[in-house]
């Protein structure tokens, strides 16, 4: 089977793909005819495709985010590669194909990522802090198994959010050893809580964010997490004015560092300063790694990366 | 009795004043002698003063924010007017002097301001919204009787916060009549809640803010109010995900309009857009009115006003 | 008759519309054929349309901004709704159709808006100020009957400029009562004059701005109005250096508040501060109201609104 | 006679100086005594000085901006050089001293500068343009003989404004020859008019700006000049809408290039682009030349120069 | 022969042109057919063209940047003029056509420009400075004969870089005469060196930049030139810490003036301040001149010019 | 002996201190008398001190940065603690006092820091890269034993630069293990080279920067290091255009990330992105640690820290 990122103009091919997007459209002729405007996907990338002469049955058979077997031909249209589909059918059980094979995903199994996060949570020595973290994780535990960390910015794939947390926890562990003045309980809690409300801020399926939720737009994940900590403190019987509640809310509220990046307050505790920079370090390096991974080895330069001052990254030959 | 803003160089005078600031210092001589470095205040302004040759008794008699009767002489020192105190004693009951006569204050009695705010609160038709507002007002009701709206920016005097709310409620009423698409319940609630956590963000006595609280610096009044709404919803049994809770939190979170001004989200409902602009309009016009009021009539220009792009205001002769 | 905002794919329909734009183009075939590339409009919105096989007569019959009766079919082209016109003829008198029924317009009759503005002008007590206002209004009186307040930003429809003035005058009246330190003559004059040169800055027909004038680009409406005040003072025999002329020019020059928004000076009189904030309040709230009005009731969110930090507005269900 | 910039600690000296500033102050003793707080000036710089034990006669004898003969001693106070005056008397005719010898001044005689400007004005071929320029120059002709170009930014000395114009005219002449597509009439007019209202924007004596005028703050020199062009056009019978009037107003209005630098429109004609860059080139190079000239030759670095991104300039030894 | 900027819809024409871009594409039909997507160029401008029904031979005959003779017809497609090519053949010797006649070019012959630059270089009195300049010019001497000064910003045509240098040298000469405190050796050297590494920063053919080099992106022309000066100093035996080497590197490093424009240090010598402003003046005026030259005389406005705050320039009728 | 940070008003004390600053000044009396204006220092902090009635011998005995034994009394002057010195003598050998005990210093011995850096350098596998690093380190090896990393920003103490490098190398090691796509040779080289020219950019003694060098101001440490790499490549016979030279120069040039922070190019290789974020993480955390360390334990808040958005850091009690 041909991976999408290996297709070249004039290739004829057969394979299994996911219909990442599918819309019924009409040609400009008289009378206009229906056709499918499709975005095909697999684990290696995605590509626009057309399926002409759509029948009434077709329109009831094919849906976005479902798997199909297709026969097609690649060609160039307006300087971009495109696929003309000549045959298409839904995947059936006999094909033995799993949906998750066709999407980009963190390089570690979600179940292992969540296991690592829970281990970190359980290693928090202070029971009040552990209780708040546990309450908040409980709200999104199921979604942690598949949510991305962002729509496009970084870790934008299946279980990307949990992967981001796990790598940050590793860096946090190292820094607490290197600099004993940092409080490991607070830093772990901050890492786990900082993006904990993202699964409620975004609407996502299979690692692909389709939109932000109304809550996400009107409140934002930073204030949502702050509110969750208030709720957690009430539910676990903690004083809302206590230094612990305040320290955790401060970690979450300040982790974007500047007002123009969404933080209503700036980092003013040691752990809050650490959290912001661990977050930036992990996110930026993952952007670079992912961009290099998904750019053909023959290309010297990745595409422009918005989160890196919109610069491309050069693949050194050293 | 001579008002501070009427003193001129060489004036000898007797009168009652408040000791807004008082510090014991030492002269640079050998041996060094103690003296009082004082900021005298009355309702018209404030002025630096020195009281030399301080005795041990004096140091146990005089304290900041207490009233005194003094005899003094005004003179110019380093281009500024200053007072040399020649006689000083604490005010006693026989003097019949009240502390609040000596501080800058809103032009309406605090009790009337709070009454107006409560009337507005009681006029909110939706019981869920009214319940949240009532819970939050309950947290700071006593402080509303005297807190300023800011440290220096605007309404920085006794009961300034309540005065700011009342004037905004008047503008809000007018706008709801002019533009019926605005929801009066939400706008009233937004006006009352938008700065409701300021009394916990700042530490203030007699309308003078001495500092921000730790909560104020690490969480900020905007996020504190958002957390209070969460708490109010739990206490009053409201669904935390309900549109009403979200709408109120959005009003509070977005009222500074931009991230760089402290709002983690931007106004995205009709009432949130209205709230931001009513807040700005009232604050800026009050800055102008207060600056003109406290500048001698003989001066064409007020001092520079930070909140007005650091411009002075010209007193037109039309 | 079907309103444009009610059309759905596959609808066949007949109705009266305005040709907001019309261009003769050629197909890519051999030989190329002429066709009309059209933007149809009515009071509810606008839509792209094509009329194929254009005859020589057609090209002399149909012109932009004229009314037509058409038969057409709606379909989807490149993800957008489009109309294919099958029959078209000019409107004739027997149809009994008026051009102004087909354009977006202020909700109050232009004649009433201008009447209100003139009443405000006549209520200015100071004859010198009234004289300058009257001279400037005289320059654009006819255009006030139909000019929009901006190309797209806000009040971008028939008589939008006059509507903006009238609503601002209402707010100004309220504020002068609430805050007697404001001078009503100056505030009224400022409101009427602040955008008075817009009809010469923009080229507009039927409430639709097609471009900025050369004067508009090289001088700008703010400086044009300032020059007009100079002209008015000369014509009415006022001293050019008088405080009144200066106050009016300052109101106009400063009303955009900041240099980067086009104001060469910042507001430095009480009325100039008020004017800027009244302008902002009215413009922003009108953007919200208009966006909600022109978005189908079934949509939760309006389109992005450039003047509101490019945010969409959410239609609360409270 | 000792020049101010040659004074060193412990120098005793006698000489003629100007009293750039003089204030009567009082010592902090009991009883306080009067003294003069003085800024001495000569053509080489300025220095703080004190004159103790001021008599009643002294207070009626000495005034700011008058010439005196003094005996004094230089010493260091708070890390700065200061003068203690031991003897002081007003200059009398017998001394044969001229005020203008004691102030910083353009290196060319004012009468010659104004002559050059008038020659340029008279060389404008287009009579309409020449008429407008002549009218505006007429408004400030006398002040051109001594006004500086700015308070501190550049050319901040006697006849600095005229000197700035003359040097710009030289650059303009060169550029018109190098690039014949530039219109010399417009460029000359733009150079003469661009800062023509500065003498009314600032209050200045002997090349020293003490403040901005009310007009200067509320209207600004850019809009004042634009209004003057309107006035000139009316007085000389030119059509206010003519391309010539518009071109001249555009030159003036756009010469600060950006809104945040005070220009309500940006340069959009060839000559306006040229004018802005000639203005910047001349102002910046003059700042450098003046800073190097007034910094002792033994210093490698000039003081920080605000107009050069607040950088100091290094005196190369090449 | 018809110049590109004179073509109008429906024109049939024959002429010689350069194939500025040529791509083989496929139609969307079944089976897809090959066609050429072409950008035709001549000295007056450029235009999109299509050549349908491309044969196998055609694909081996026609290449980008080669000259062809074509027969074609102009028509409007999606509101833009386009050419349909009906006949095409390569130019042969008999046609007597030179490639350089078909590209935009500086108005002075490259050989003369380079001659002028070398004269300036040879007029540098200081042999150390002259040696460094000579070494650096030697690195790109051949490319100076044809490289543009930028991709699109300014002087973006054949020999544009050398033309930019020559015009700046003229301005520099004038300024050194007007202001003798400037060091002519340093200013000449700065002008010649400031963009000397551009030919290695960009990849260009016939005055058209196709991309930036890897060096160009990772090091940038400013730091490349600084490194070249280090190399030159080593090769010519100069002390790397000498004031001359430092002065030249400072000129190059600071000539973009601000960090956000690419300069790691800001101008801090007289000549560095001059260099930046001469560069800006020449670049901006050339943008204006070129925009006016390449806009049809009948157009009042040029297209928007990115380097001029994205403003268009108005062609005054004075 | 009393540490400076333990002194309180009225304390009389005897001890050894360093004269961080010493200036001879004169009193304002008649005749003026000489006195020493001193900044005393020890490892815990610094304090202003005065020594009155300075003799001619004193002026030849005491110098900045020398050790003294003093007797003094602490008192408050203008709200700040100050010392009045009553007795002072130079330290002699018998006192057994070492200069380095009196300055702030990295917590690891310089010799060990430099040893670690050299180990890292020697572990670079690629001999070309190792050669360049070795050449550059060789230029400043001696100064690495004591130079700070910055004037005030971070690591502003004895051997602070080497300490910064060592901690960054530790983080780099960890990241290369966590993310094998990073090249350890390049990252080590980048860490060692990124600030390698700082000892030539700044003038420093005993960990205290007194000024920037002329090279430092005109070229800056970033471009200086880039030039050194060019020099190193020439001296070690490497091709100046090789990918290795380019990669190292890119690391150095881009490590401040943005133009406004001094980098002429932005990070565009994986290691350059990592370098910038490791640098930021180490610098910011060290600022926090140092601020907490040097703030009395009884203080909740550190002073404002410029490099942390000018925020203070709160000492959590968790």
Q: What is the 3-state secondary structure of E156-184?
A: CCECHHHHHHHHHHHHHHHHHHHCCCCCH
Chain C residues within an 8 Å CB radius of E83? none
pLDDT at position A56 = 86
- Report the percent of chain A where pLDDT is more than 90: 71
Q: Do E265 and F218 touch (CB under 8 A)?
A: yes
Chain C residues within an 8 Å CB radius of B167? 178
pLDDT at position B28 = 62
Q: Which of D268, D280, D292 shows the shortest C-beta gap to E313?
A: D268
List, in sequence order, every residue forming a beta bridge with A84; answer none if it has no partner.
A50, A73
The span from the CA of B275 to the CA of C284, in Å, is: 11
pLDDT at position C232 = 98
pLDDT higher than threshold 60 for residue A30: no
B48: distance to nearest CA of chain F, Å?
Answer: 14
Q: Tens of pLDDT along F272-292?
A: 999 999 999 999 999 999 999
Mean pLDDT of chain B: 92
Q: Do F231 and E223 touch (CB under 8 A)?
A: no
Of the pLDDT bands very low, low, confident and very high (cuts 50, 70, 90), residue B206 is confident
pLDDT higher than threshold 60 for residue F294: yes
Tell how strand F208-212 and strand F202-205 pair up: antiparallel
Q: Which of C218, C250, C268 shows the shortest C-beta gap to D268?
A: C218
Q: Are F234 and F175 in contact (CB under 8 A)?
A: no
Burial of B44 (0-12, 13-18, 19+ CB in 10 A): middle
pLDDT at position F33 = 80
State the average pLDDT over residues F199-215. Answer: 91
pLDDT higher than threshold 90 for residue A265: yes
pLDDT at position F286 = 97
- Physical contact, B and A (3 or more Cβ pairs within 8 A): yes
Q: Which of B220, B226, B231 shows the shortest C-beta gap to A265?
A: B220
Q: Do E79 and C23 touch (CB under 8 A)?
A: yes
- Tokens found for residue C162: 């006059």
pTM of this structure: 0.90
Q: Which of C273, C280, C316 shows the shortest C-beta gap to B243?
A: C316
pLDDT at position B29 = 59
Q: Is the model more confident about B5 or about A50?
A: A50
pLDDT higher than threshold 60 for residue D267: yes
pLDDT higher than threshold 90 for residue F44: no
Q: Which of C76, C84, C312 shows the shortest C-beta gap to A25?
A: C76
pLDDT at position E28 = 63
pLDDT at position E259 = 94
Which stretches of chain B sit within 8 Å of chain C by CB?
Answer: 126, 167, 170-171, 174-175, 178-179, 181-183, 185-186, 243-244, 247, 257-258, 266-271, 273-274, 277-278, 280-281, 284-285, 288-289, 292, 308-309, 311-314, 316-318
State the average pLDDT over residues A164-168. Answer: 98
Q: What residue in A sits closest to B244 (Cα-Cα)?
A: A215
Q: Tell me the fold of B4-99.
A: OB fold (Dihydrolipoamide Acetyltransferase, E2P) (2.40.50)
Which stretches of chain B sit within 8 Å of chain D by CB?
Answer: 9, 75-77, 79, 84, 300, 314
Q: Tens of pLDDT along F124-153?
A: 999 999 999 999 999 999 999 999 999 888
- Physical contact, A and E (3 or more Cβ pairs within 8 A): yes
pLDDT at position A152 = 84
Q: What residue in B sits closest to D23 (Cα-Cα)?
A: B79
Of the pLDDT bands very low, low, confident and very high (cuts 50, 70, 90), residue A31 is low
pLDDT at position E274 = 98
Mean pLDDT of chain A: 92
pLDDT at position A43 = 80
The span from the CA of B70 to the CA of B2, in Å, is: 11
Mean pLDDT of chain C: 92
Q: Do C249 and D227 touch (CB under 8 A)?
A: yes
pLDDT at position E64 = 86
Report DSSP letters for D37-91, one per residue: EEEEEETTEEEEEEE-S--HHHHHH--TT-EEEEEEEEEEETTEEEEEEEEEEE-
Q: Provide CATH 2.40.50.140 ranges for chain C.
A: 4-99
Chain E residues within an 8 Å CB radius of C30? 84
pLDDT higher than threshold 60 for residue B251: yes
Mean pLDDT of chain E: 92
- Pinpoint the alpha helices (H) of A153-219: 160-178, 184-193, 198-201, 214-218
pLDDT higher than threshold 90 for residue A78: no
Q: Do B79 and D25 touch (CB under 8 A)?
A: yes
Q: Tens of pLDDT along C195-216?
A: 999 999 999 988 888 899 999 9
pLDDT higher than threshold 60 for residue E30: no
The span from the CA of F259 to the CA of B60, in Å, is: 58
- Show which subunits contact E, needing at least 3 CB pairs below 8 angstroms: A, C, D, F
Q: Tell me the CATH number of domain B110-291, given options 3.40.50, 1.10.3210, 1.20.120, 3.30.1330.
A: 1.10.3210
pLDDT at position D142 = 95
pLDDT higher than threshold 90 for residue C103: no
List, in sequence order, every residue forming a beta bridge with A146; answer none if it has no partner.
none
pLDDT at position C276 = 98
Q: Tens of pLDDT along A104-160?
A: 889 999 999 999 999 999 999 999 999 999 999 999 999 999 999 998 889 989 999
Highest mean pLDDT among B58-72, E250-264, F83-97: E250-264
Q: Tens of pLDDT along E185-195?
A: 999 999 999 99
- Physical contact, C and A (3 or more Cβ pairs within 8 A): yes
pLDDT higher than threshold 60 for residue B30: no
Lowest mean pLDDT among B136-150, D110-124, F289-303: F289-303
List, in sequence order, every residue forming a beta bridge with B68; answer none if it has no partner.
B17, B90
Q: What residue in B sits closest to D25 (Cα-Cα)?
A: B76
pLDDT at position C29 = 59
Looking at the predicted complex, does its ipTM rise above 0.95?
no
pLDDT higher than threshold 60 for residue F30: no
pLDDT at position B221 = 98
Helix/strand/coil (H, E, C) string of B128-149?
A: HHHHHHHHHHHHHHHHHCCCCC
Q: For residue B115, give the 3-state DSSP assignment.
A: helix
- Tokens found for residue C194: 């602040």
Measured CA distances, F210 to D168, D298, E310 (Å): 41, 20, 45
pLDDT higher than threshold 60 for residue D162: yes
Q: Do B79 and D28 touch (CB under 8 A)?
A: no
Phi, psi of A23 (to 5 degrees): -135, 140
Chain E residues within an 8 Å CB radius of F227? 226-227, 230, 240, 249
Of the pLDDT bands very low, low, confident and very high (cuts 50, 70, 90), residue C1 is low
- Pinpoint the alpha helices (H) of C54-99: 56-61
pLDDT at position B1 = 67
- Physical contact, A and F (3 or more Cβ pairs within 8 A): yes
pLDDT higher than threshold 70 for residue F56: yes
Residue C126: cis peptide before it, omega within 30 degrees of 0: no
State the average pLDDT over residues E223-230. Answer: 98
Chain C residues within an 8 Å CB radius of B251? none
- Tokens found for residue C46: 């606008």
pLDDT higher than threshold 90 for residue C24: no
């Amino acid at each position: 089977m041909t991976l999408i990122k290996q297709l070249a103009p004039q290739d004829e091919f057969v394979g299994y793909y996911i219909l990442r997007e599918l819309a019924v459209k009409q040609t400009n002729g008289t009378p206009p005819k229906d056709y499918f405007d499709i975005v095909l996907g697999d684990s290696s990338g995605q590509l626009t495709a057309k399926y002409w002469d759509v029948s009434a049955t077709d329109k009831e058979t094919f849906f976005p985010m479902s798997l199909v077997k297709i026969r097609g031909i690649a060609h160039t249209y307006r300087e971009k590669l495109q696929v003309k589909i000549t045959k298409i059918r839904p995947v059936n059980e006999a094909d033995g194909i799993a949906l998750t094979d066709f999407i980009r995903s963190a390089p570690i199994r979600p179940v292992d990522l969540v296991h690592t996060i829970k281990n970190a949570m359980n290693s928090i020595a202070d029971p009040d802090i552990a209780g708040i973290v546990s309450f908040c994780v409980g709200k999104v535990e199921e979604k942690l198994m598949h949510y991305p960390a962002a729509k496009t910015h970084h870790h934008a794939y299946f279980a990307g959010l949990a992967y981001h947390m796990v790598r940050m926890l590793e860096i946090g562990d190292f820094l607490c050893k290197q600099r004993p003045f940092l409080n490991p309980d607070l830093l772990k809690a901050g890492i786990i809580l900082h993006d904990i409300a993202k699964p409620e801020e975004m609407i996502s399926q299979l690692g692909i964010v389709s939109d932000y939720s109304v809550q996400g737009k009107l409140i934002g994940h930073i204030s949502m997490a702050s509110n969750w900590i208030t709720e957690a403190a009430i539910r676990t019987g903690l004083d809302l004015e206590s230094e612990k509640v305040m320290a955790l809310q401060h970690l979450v509220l300040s982790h974007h560092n500047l007002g123009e990046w969404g933080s209503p307050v700036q980092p003013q505790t040691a752990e809050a300063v650490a959290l912001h920079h661990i977050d930036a370090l992990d996110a930026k390096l993952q952007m670079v790694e992912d961009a290099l991974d998904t750019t053909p080895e023959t290309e010297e330069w990745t595409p422009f990366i918005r989160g890196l001052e919109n610069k491309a990254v050069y693949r050194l030959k050293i």
